[in-house]
Structure formats: C-alpha cells, structure tokens
C-alpha cells in the first residue's frame, strides 16, 4: 500500500488511510501538514490558526483518532460554539475514523437530554459539544472529564465572542491536568493568547498558516464595486442576474440588514434565505441544510451566524457591507475558491468606505481592484447564453422531439421560421431580454469611463423644459446607438444640460442632433477659451443663446407628447 504518501509522511497510520481515500483527501492542507506531525510525535499543547475551510477538523481529528483507543470513558473532548458545528465536527470525525471502532457523538442544547444521557451511558470516546450542554451533562454526573487525553477548543475565538468564557473555564478546571490542550481558531485575538497563558502548558506550540499562503485565497478573485448605499440592492440584483450559476453567501453587518435584504430580494422574486442570531435553532438547521443541498442560491448572513458553516462550493462571497477588519474579511472570503475551484469575492464599497478598503488591502498585503458592475447588456447576454446552452442540450439529447410536429406547424405562421421562434421567445421571456426593460439605477461616477479626455456637450434645454437624465440617455441611445455607460457625467440644470462624451461619440451626437430641429447641442468651450472669447463678444452670444432657447421649449414638449 503506497496510497497517500504525503499523509503517511506526516505519520498517519495504515489503519486510517482507507477512510481518507473514501473521503477523497489527496494531499494534506497547510494546517494539517503543520499540526499532524506535532500532535502525533510530541506531547505539547498546540494553538492552530488557519482560515475557515482549510481542514482544521482533520488537523486535530486525525491525530486524536489515531492516538486514542476505545474504552469506557471519554478520551477526547471537543468544545464548539454552536449546535451545527458540533454536529459537523462529529460527522467529520466519524468519517475520518473509518473502521476504527471509536464512538463519537455531538451534545448540544435543544436535543432531549434523556437521549443524550442514553448515548453517554453506552460509552463515548470522543465527546463533541457546546459548552452549556457539556457543563449540564457534567453537573448531572453523567459525563466524566478526568481521563482525557485531549481537550480541544474549536472556533475558540467564536466561543469567546459568544461569551462562553466562564463555562470554558469551569469545564477546563474539571479536566485532568495531564491532558493535551489544543485550540483552533480562524483568528488570533488577544483573548485567545490569554486563555493559552491561563490553561496551556507554557511550552505550547503555535501552528499558523498565513492568510496569503492558504490555497483557497490564491484561487479567489477579489474585487470591489463602488456602490452608493441606496444602490446596493440593485447592485446585488445585477450580480445575481449576470451570474446564472450563482451560489453565494452575502454578508451584512446587522441582523436588521440581513432581514431587510432578504425581504427585498423576495419582493423581487429572488430565492434567498436569512441567517442570523435571532433565528430559531430548528430554522437555522433547516436553512443551512437546504443551502448545502443547493435548494436556493443565496444565503444572507451576519458573520456570527455564518461562522464555521462548511459549504465547499460557493461561486461567490459577497460583502454587502465591508467587514470591520481584515481578519473578518479573510475569514469571509475563505469560503470561496475552495477545493481547486475558482471563486469570486466581491465587496460593495460606498464612496465613504474607500479608506476602510485601503486599510484592509494594506493588512492583507493584496490590492483589491475595482471592477464595473455588470451592465444590463451583460445581464441580457448571460441570460441569452444560458438559454442557448439549454437549447443546445435539448437538441443534443433529442428531448424536445415530441414537439417537432407542433414546431413545424408554428413555423408556417410567419413568413420565416425565425418569426415563429421570436414569438415563442416573446411569450417565454416577455421583455426580460430587452434592454429597455432595465432601468439604470444611477451609476456611480467610478463606473463611468475615464472622463479626462471627454468633450462637454451643451444642450440648450434643462429641467425647466422637462428634461430628465434617464429620458436624455434614452433619446441619445435611440438615435445614436451610444449607450449610457459610454457617456460621462450628465449635469441637468434648470435651463441647460451638459453631457460629457468621448470626442468620437460627441461628434456623432452633434451630427445626429444637428439634423434635428427639436434638439440642439454644441460643444461647451473649455473655461480658458471662453474667457478669451467673452472679451470680444460676450453680449451678442448670450442673446443668441436665449433666442434659440425659446422656441425649443414648445417643440420639446411636443416631442414628449409624441412619445407617450
Ligand atoms: P475548517 O475547520 O478549517 O473550517 P473543515 O475541517 O470544516 O475546515 O474542512 C472543510 C472541508 O474540507 C471539509 O469538507 C473537509 O472534509 C475537507 N477537507 C479537509 N481536509 C482536506 C484535504 N486534505 N483534502 C481534501 N478535503 C479536505
Ligand atoms: Mg472548523
């Protein structure tokens, strides 16, 4: 047997190899490479720090499983912050143990204590549980904690955040002093070091895998969109629409934000579920399980509620709000780009949050580039692409041939078969694939092209004439084919409007609208030139403007009326 040489090199015994093969583990992760030899060969306590999803459970689980022997009293205790995590860790350990006859069970609040007492009575080798329930079971005298070989705090930082410190202290004080104590955590705040100083033997070791060297970060493409607060929801919808295979976690700052985003997505017919601390345990478990099974594509969550949830194949992590610090940022984005798959981490950054982003960039030692939000055209393209792929698949499998007769009949309705197909598309999509169907939600300045080389066009009509920016964009697009995203800033004053455009686009707009009596554009002179000219002939020019302006009004209104 020469399977899994890299795991063997760390000291993993033959006995455990079949289970690893069954789980399709091929090479150890960074934290496993560091922690497993330390735990198998030494006697020291250990702190392990690595991102979520880097295999910390197996990093301590494999040595524990290999070291302990089945018996009557618990040999390993693993404390975890939540019920889901306890279940998840126990499941992982059971699968890692393979055929080794060790008993592992999770214990948590919310399950009938009588059921758990029964399980304990039959003998458990590895006890996994939340601090509260473990305390309870011990107080009832049903959980023996003085013959441990290992006491392990998993997601230690999270347990501290959740205020479990007193329970943890009490539990640790009940354990035998000659056990090995391990602590695993994604972040390493001072409180963790304090716990280590209090409960670990002073020669404890630290196994740390840096944020950047972790493989999942390397596989994660990071960028941000500059989005005003009031446009975040629209921006999120754009991302959802443009990524037809989206499977994402969306992080918000507060419970209220999570609820609000989820409700608004529902109102727009998107499938999403909320996860935060005020949601009942049963509901939480139901949501997490359904999400893991891809029953819905979007999980909207707070950091605390999402902590430790093991989802392997997210396409995107979306920071609806930037996190408070870089550790949380790394922790969040560590959930995508796993298992060799490319992942995307998108952050929404309001103009006022640029500094915070710079801070995070500096801290993680990585530049986070800006990207344009998908445009309506991108979204339509993605939807067409998906539809075409599905059609191609149907053609390939011949699954649509039951409809062939009907299709032939329909094709005789128009003068060309394409007309019939177009009608079918209209019935199926209505206006969904038409650009007019999408409204612009006020692109932020940074989404527009670089404006430094642009020309400024002046239109002798403004808000008082009934002009609005969306109307103007629509007219320009209609008559010149120039899309709103190609244009620069548009300033609509009471009596005139300025439009920034690329010289070539500006020329095109000018030519088209010159022919048009209702609209008249001209270049706005740069300030310096204007100064010079006004020296000679300021008055006549002003007069001329006013003259042109007046008749324009009436015609403008006529044009609006025609449109409606
Ligand atoms: P963490 O506790 O660091 O967040 P987990 O222990 O929950 O990570 O592991 C995340 C996922 O990665 C689990 O599904 C686990 O089975 C898988 N995994 C762990 N180690 C490996 C490995 N060496 N190769 C492949 N998958 C692994
Ligand atoms: Mg874990």
**pLDDT value, residue 430:** 83
User: Any idea what DSSP says for residue 402?
Assistant: G
3 state SS of 303? helix
CA distance 350 to 332: 19
**CA of residue 16 to ligand 2 center, whole Å:** 20
pLDDT tens, N- to C-terminus, the chain (564 residues): 578 999 999 999 999 999 999 998 888 988 999 999 999 998 899 999 888 778 899 999 999 999 999 998 999 999 999 888 999 999 999 999 999 999 999 999 878 888 999 999 999 999 999 999 999 999 999 999 999 999 999 999 888 888 898 899 999 999 999 999 999 988 877 888 888 888 999 888 888 875 433 344 456 788 999 999 889 999 999 999 888 889 999 999 999 999 999 999 998 888 999 998 888 888 888 899 899 889 999 999 998 888 767 776 789 999 999 998 888 888 888 777 665 567 899 999 998 888 889 888 888 877 888 998 888 888 888 888 888 888 888 888 888 889 999 999 998 888 888 899 999 999 888 888 888 777 666 543 334 566 778 888 887 777 777 777 777 787 788 878 888 778 888 887 877 788 888 888 888 887 777 666 556 666 665 554 544 444 444 344 433 333 333 333 434 433 332 332
332 backbone dihedrals φ, ψ, rounded to 5°:
-60, -50
Contact in structure between 261 and 252 (CB atoms under 8 Å): yes
| Cβ of 54 less than 6 Å from ligand 1 | yes
Q: What is the pLDDT of residue 135?
A: 94
Region class of 397: left (phi > 0), else alpha (psi between -120 and 50), else beta:
alpha
The number of the ligand 1 atom at minimal distance from the alpha carbon of 154 is 2
Q: Which atom of ligand 1 is nearest to the CA of 61?
A: 6
Q: Which residues pair with 348 in a beta bridge?
A: 225
Closest ligand 1 atom, residue 23 Cα: 16
Rounded CA-CA distance 456/497 in Å is: 10
Centre of ligand 1 to C-alpha 98, Å, is: 16
Going by alpha carbons, the residue nearest to atom 10 of ligand 1 is 53
* pLDDT value, residue 524: 62
For residue 514, the number of C-alpha atoms closer than 13 Å in the C-beta half-sphere is 9
Query: What's the pLDDT score for residue 73?
Result: 95
Alpha-carbon span 3 to 497, nearest angstrom: 73
Three-class DSSP category at 409: helix
**Is residue 460 within 8 Å of 549, Cβ to Cβ?**
yes
Q: Is the CB of 25 under 6 A from ligand 1?
A: yes
C-beta 222 within 6 A of ligand 1: no
Pocket test for ligand 1, best of 57, 89, 340 (most atoms within 8 A of CB): 57
pLDDT at 378: 87
pLDDT at position 338, please?
Answer: 61
Residue 91 CA to residue 105 CA, distance in Å, equals 8
Judge if the beta carbon of residue 381 lies within 6 A of ligand 1. no
The CA radius of gyration of the chain, in Å to the nearest whole number, is 32
**DSSP E strand stretches across 404-524:** 455-459, 490-492, 497-501, 521-523
């Amino acid at each position: 047997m020469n399977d899994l040489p890299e795991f063997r090199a760390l000291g993993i015994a033959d006995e455990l190899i079949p289970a690893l093969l069954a789980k399709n583990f091929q090479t150890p992760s960074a934290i496993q490479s560091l922690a497993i030899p330390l735990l198998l060969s030494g006697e020291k306590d250990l702190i392990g720090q690595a991102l979520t999803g880097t295999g910390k459970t197996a990093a301590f689980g494999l040595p524990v499983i290999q070291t302990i022997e089945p018996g009557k009293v618990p040999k390993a205790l693993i404390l975890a912050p939540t019920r889901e995590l306890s279940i998840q860790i126990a499941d992982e350990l059971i699968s890692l143990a393979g055929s080794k006859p060790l008993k592992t069970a999770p214990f948590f609040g919310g399950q009938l204590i009588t059921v758990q007492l029964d399980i304990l009575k039959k003998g458990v080798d590895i006890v996994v549980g939340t601090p509260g329930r473990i305390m309870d079971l011990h107080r009832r005298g049903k959980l023996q904690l003085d013959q441990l070989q290992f006491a392990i705090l998993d997601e230690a930082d999270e347990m501290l955040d959740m205020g479990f410190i007193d329970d943890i202290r009490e539990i640790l004080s009940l354990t035998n002093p000659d056990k090995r104590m391990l602590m695993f955590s994604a972040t390493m705040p001072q409180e963790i070091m304090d716990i280590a100083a209090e409960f670990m033997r002073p020669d404890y070791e630290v196994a740390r895998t840096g944020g950047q060297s972790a493989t999942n970060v390397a596989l994660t493409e990071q960028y941000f969109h500059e989005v005003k607060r009031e446009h975040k929801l629209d921006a999120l919808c754009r991302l959802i629409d443009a990524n037809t295979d989206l499977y994402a976690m969306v992080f918000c700052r507060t419970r209220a934000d999570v609820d609000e985003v989820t409700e608004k997505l529902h109102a727009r017919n998107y499938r999403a579920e909320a996860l935060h601390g005020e949601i009942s345990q049963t509901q939480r478990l139901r949501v997490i399980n359904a999400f893991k099974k891809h029953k819905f594509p979007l999980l909207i969550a707070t950091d605390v509620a999402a902590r430790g949830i093991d989802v392997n194949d997210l396409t995107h992590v979306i920071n609806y709000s930037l996190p408070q610090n870089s550790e949380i940022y790394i922790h969040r984005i560590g959930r995508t780009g796993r298992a060799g798959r490319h992942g995307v981490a998108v952050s929404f950054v309001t103009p006022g949050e640029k500094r915070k982003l710079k801070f995070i960039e500096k801290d993680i030692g990585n530049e986070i580039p800006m990207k344009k939000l998908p445009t309506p055209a991108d979204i339509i393209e993605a939807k067409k692409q998906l539809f075409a792929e599905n059609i191609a698949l149907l053609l390939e499998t011949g699954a649509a041939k039951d409809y062939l007769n009907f299709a032939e009949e329909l094709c005789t309705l128009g003068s060309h078969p394409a007309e019939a197909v177009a009608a079918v598309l209209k019935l199926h999509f209505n206006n969904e694939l038409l650009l007019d169907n999408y409204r612009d939600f006020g692109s932020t300045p940074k989404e527009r092209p670089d404006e430094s080389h642009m020309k400024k066009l002046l239109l002798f009509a403004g808000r008082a004439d009934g002009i609005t920016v969306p109307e103007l964009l629509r007219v320009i697009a209609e008559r010149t084919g120039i899309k709103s995203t190609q244009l620069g800033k548009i300033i609509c004053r009471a009596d005139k409007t300025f439009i920034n455009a690329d010289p070539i686009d500006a020329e095109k707009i000018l030519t088209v609208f010159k022919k048009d009596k209702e609209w008249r554009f001209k270049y706005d002179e740069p300030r310096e030139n204007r100064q010079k000219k006004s020296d000679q002939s300021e008055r006549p020019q002003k007069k001329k403007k006013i003259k042109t302006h007046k008749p324009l009004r009436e015609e403008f209104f006529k044009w609006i009326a025609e449109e409606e």
